[in-house]
Amino acid sequence: MSLVELSHATKRFLNSKGGTHTAVSDITLDVEAGEFVAVVGPTGCGKSTTLSLVSGLEPPSEGTVRVSGRPVTGIPEGVGYMFQADAMLPWRTVLANVAAGPVWRGVPAEQARAQAHDWIERVGLGGFEGYYMHQLSGGMRKRVALAQTLVTEPSILLMDEPFSALDVQTRALMQTELLDLWSGSRAAVIFVTHDLEEAIVLADRVVVMTASPARIKDVFPVHLPRPRNVEELRMDPDFVRTYSQIWSSLSSEVAIARKTGVGNVA
Amino acid sequence: MSLDVSTPQQNPSSTADAAALANVRARVRRHRVTIYGLRALLLVAVLAFWEASVNLWFDPFFYSKPSLIWHKLVVWFSDGTAQGPIWQQIRYTLQEAVLGFILGAIVGILLGILLGRARLLAEVLQPYIQAANAVPRIVLSALFIIWFGLGMSSKVATAFVLVFFPVFFNAFQGAREVDRNLVNNARILGASRSQVLRSIVVPSATSWILASLHTAFGFALIGAIVGEYAGATHGVGLLISTAQASFDSAGIYAGMVISTVLALGAELILGLLERRLLKWRPPAHNNAVPV
Ligand SMILES: Nc1ncnc2c1ncn2[C@@H]1O[C@H](COP(=O)(O)OP(=O)(O)OP(=O)(O)O)[C@@H](O)[C@H]1O
Ligand SMILES: [Mg+2]
C-alpha cells in the first residue's frame, strides 16, 4: 500500500457557460512514504487541481483518491499544502502565522510559539517574528509559508510552485534548504513546478502531464545520487541527459497548450 | 544565513541617517502646520463671508449669522435652555445615540456574519432584507413614538434601525468576500469550522465593519435627533424643534453645531479604535512620507 494512491481520478468543473470543463482526466499515480515526486506540465493543464484532490479540498468526480489506504473524505491526517497563491494571514505577525497550525491542532500556546520560533529560525527568518506580511519581501513570504506548513510536520507535503516567484539565487538557496529539511523528515512530497530543471534537481520521479485536460503522459525516474548539490548538478552529464529526455516529452505538450491555450481561456 | 533583503528598521545608525531623519521630521511638521493653517483660514473666510453678506444683503432673522449663532451658544451654555441645562440635553441625545449605535452595531455584525456564512439562509432572506432596506427608515421614528412613547426608547429604536442596515450589509459582504485561499489554508493547517470563523472570517470582515461604523455613528446621532424632533421631552432635537417653532433660526444652527461637534468627537474615537485594530495594514500611499 502506498501512502498516496490516485486511481483513475478525474475532476470536472462547471465552466462559465454552464457546461463542464475537465481539469484532470484518469490520473493514476502512487507516491510512497519518503518519496519526492515532481509534477511538470503546461500552464493551466490541471496540476493544482491534482494537488487539491490529494489534499481533500476537492472531491474527485470519478475514480478514487486514497491516503494511507483510506479513501479521502475531508482533509486527510498528515497533509501539508503550500498553495500557489499567498495564503498568509495579513493581520497576523510572522510568529502568529507560523504558530497557527499547532494552535488550531490544540497544542498549548506556549509550546506552539516555541515550535514556530524554531521553524522560523530554520527557514532563515530569525529576527522577523514580529513583522506583518506586508513588511516582508516575496521571498520572505514564501519562507513563512514553508515554515507554516512544515511546523505541523506533515507526512505528505504538497507544494504548488512554491519557488516560482523567486530570483535564481534565492530559489537555489530554498531548494537546498527544502532538500535538507525533507531528508530529515522522510515525508512524501508532491512538488508542482513549471521549471523542469527544478523538477529534476529535487525529485526521485518526474511526472509529465499533458496539455489540458491533464493526463499523465510519462513518468521519468531520476537516478542522480543524493545528497544533491543544487547548483553544481545542472552541469552534470547525467542531469543533462535526463533533462533532454524529459524535455522531448514535455515540449510537445507545451506546444499544444500554446496553440490551444488562447481558445481554452476565452 | 544572510538575507538579500533590506530590513525596514528605523534605527538611525550613523549621524548621516540621524540628520536625514531629523530633516524628514521637520518637513512633516512644516507640512502639517501649513495644512492646519490653511484649514483655519478657509473656515474664517467662509464665516466672514457669511457674516458680511447677511449684514449687507439678507435678513438676519431668516438666515442668521455666525455672531448670532455664537451668541445663542453662549447663552445656552451659560444660562441654560428653555428645556433645562444644555448639558442635560446633550447627555440625553448622546445616551440615545450611543445606545442605538451599540445595539445596532452588535446585532448588525452578528446577523451579517451569520448570513454571510450561511448561503441558504441568505438566499432565502435576500428579498425581505432588500425590502426592509428600501423602507424609508426615518419615517419609522413616528411609529416608534406611538409604540414606545416620548421617552428615550423611541429614539434608541430610531438610531438602531439607522445603524443596523449599513453595519449589517458591510458585515455580510465582509464575511462573504473572505479569501478562499485563506480558509483552505487554515483548514489544511487543522482549523475547525469555529476556528475558521473566529480566526479568518471575523478578522477579514473587520475592515469592512469598521468602515461602516464610521458612518453609522453619524446615523445614530441623526436617528436620535430626528426622533427627538418628532416628539420628546429632552434632547438636542427638541432644542431644534422648539427653535423652529419660535422662528429662531440661530437656535436651529446652534443645535446643528452641537450635533456636528458630537459626531466629530465620535469619529475621532472610532478612528483611534480603527487604527488600533488595523495596525497590521500597510500605510496608505497618501500618508507615506518620502525619505
Ligand atoms: N474551482 C474551479 N472552478 C472551475 N474551474 C476550475 C477551478 N479550478 C481550476 N479550474 C480549471 O481547471 C483547469 C486547471 O487548473 P489548474 O489550476 O489545476 O491548472 P495548473 O496546471 O495548476 O495551472 P498553472 O500551472 O498555471 O498553475 C483550468 O482550466 C482552470 O480554469
Ligand atoms: Mg497551478
Q: How near does any CA of chain B get to the CA of A241, in Å?
A: 33
Q: Do A35 and A188 meet the contact criterion of CB atoms below 8 Å apart?
A: yes
- Closest by Cα among A126, A149, A142 to B2: A126
The C-alpha cell that represents A2 in the structure block:
502506498
The full set of domain ranges for chain B reads: 16-58, 64-277
The C-alpha cell that represents A92 in the structure block:
497576523
Contact B184 A83 (CB under 8 A): yes
State which residues of chain B have pLDDT below 70: 1-14, 283-291
Rounded CA gap, A209 and A26, in Å? Answer: 11
Query: What pLDDT sits at residue A95?
Result: 96
DSSP state of B211: H
Rounded CA gap, A94 and A41, in Å? Answer: 33
Q: How far is the CA of A160 from the centre of ligand 1 (A)?
A: 12
Residue A93 has pLDDT above 50, yes or no: yes
Helix axes B140-148, B202-230, angle to 10 degrees: 70
Beta bridge partners of A12: A22
Residue A198 has pLDDT above 50, yes or no: yes
| pLDDT tens, position by position, B182-236 | 999 999 999 999 999 999 999 999 888 988 888 899 999 999 999 888 888 888 8
Question: Rounded to the nearest 5°, which phi and psi values hold at B181?
Answer: -60, -45
Query: What pLDDT sits at residue B63?
Result: 80
Query: Least CA distance to B184: which residue of chain A?
Result: A57
Task: Pick the residue whose CA is nearest to atom 25 on ligand 1.
Answer: A43
Measured at the alpha carbon of residue A33, what is the angle toward residues A27 and A37, in degrees to the nearest 5?
Answer: 50
Partner A, chain B 182-211, Cβ-Cβ below 8 Å: 182, 184-192, 195, 199-200, 203, 206
Residue A232 has pLDDT above 80, yes or no: yes
CA dihedral B254, B255, B258, B259 (to 10 degrees): -140
CA dihedral A118, A120, A124, A130 (to 10 degrees): -130
- Please report residues of A whose CB lies closer than 8 A to that of B182: 87, 89
CATH code assigned to A1-78+161-266: 3.40.50.300
Residue A133 has pLDDT above 70, yes or no: yes
- Smallest Cβ–Cβ distance between A75 and the set B187, B199, B278 belongs to B187
Judge whether A176 is closer than 8 Å to chain B, CB to CB.
no
The C-alpha cell that represents B177 in the structure block:
468576500
A186 torsion bin: left (phi>0), alpha (psi -120 to 50), beta (else): left
- Closest by Cα among A111, A110, A52 to A85: A52
Reported as type and span, the H/E element at residue A30 is strand A20-31
- Please report residues of B whose CB lies closer than 8 A to that of A105: 189-190
- Please report residues of A whose CB lies closer than 8 A to that of B275: none
Rounded CA gap, B100 and B155, in Å? Answer: 8
The ligand whose atoms approach the alpha carbon of A39 most closely is: 1
Q: Which CATH architecture has domain B64-277?
A: Orthogonal Bundle (1.10)
Query: What pLDDT sits at residue B14?
Result: 66
Q: How far is the CA of B100 from the centre of ligand 1 (A)?
A: 48
Q: How far is CA A129 from the centre of its chain?
A: 25
Residues 6+ apart with CB under 8 A from B50: B65, B66
Rounded CA gap, A224 and A236, in Å? Answer: 9
The sign of the dihedral angle between the CA atoms of A22, A27, A32, A34 is negative
Query: Side chain identity at B34, as an amino acid letter?
Result: T
pTM of this prediction? 0.80
Q: How confident is the model at residue A7 (pLDDT cuts 50, 70, 90)?
A: very high
Rg of chain B on CA atoms, in Å: 25
* CB-proximal residues (5 Å) to ion ligand 2: A 48, 84
Query: Side chain identity at A211, as an amino acid letter?
Result: A
Residues 6+ apart with CB under 8 A from B211: B170
Query: What pLDDT sits at residue A76?
Result: 94
Strand arrangement of the beta sheet that strand A188-192 belongs to: A79-82, A156-160, A188-192, A36-40, A205-209, A216-221
Partner A, chain B 165-184, Cβ-Cβ below 8 Å: 179, 181-182, 184
DSSP state of B287: G
Query: What pLDDT sits at residue A5?
Result: 95
Contact A81 B191 (CB under 8 A): no
Rounded CA gap, B150 and B50, in Å? Answer: 37
**ipTM score here?**
0.91
- Closest by Cα among B221, B281, B56, B185 to A133: B281
- Smallest Cβ–Cβ distance between A135 and the set B8, B185, B192 belongs to B8
Q: How confident is the model at residue A123 (pLDDT cuts 50, 70, 90)?
A: confident
Site from B3, B185, B208, B210 to mutate, A interface, most A CB atoms within 10 angstroms: B185
Query: What pLDDT sits at residue B47?
Result: 93
Q: Which residues line the pocket of ligand 1, CB cutoff 6 A? A: A 13, 21, 23, 41, 43-49, 84, 212
Q: Give CA separation, B59 vs B7, B41, B52, B64, B250, in Å.
A: 65, 26, 12, 8, 12
DSSP state of B138: G
Residues of each domain in chain A carrying CATH 3.40.50.300? 1-78+161-266
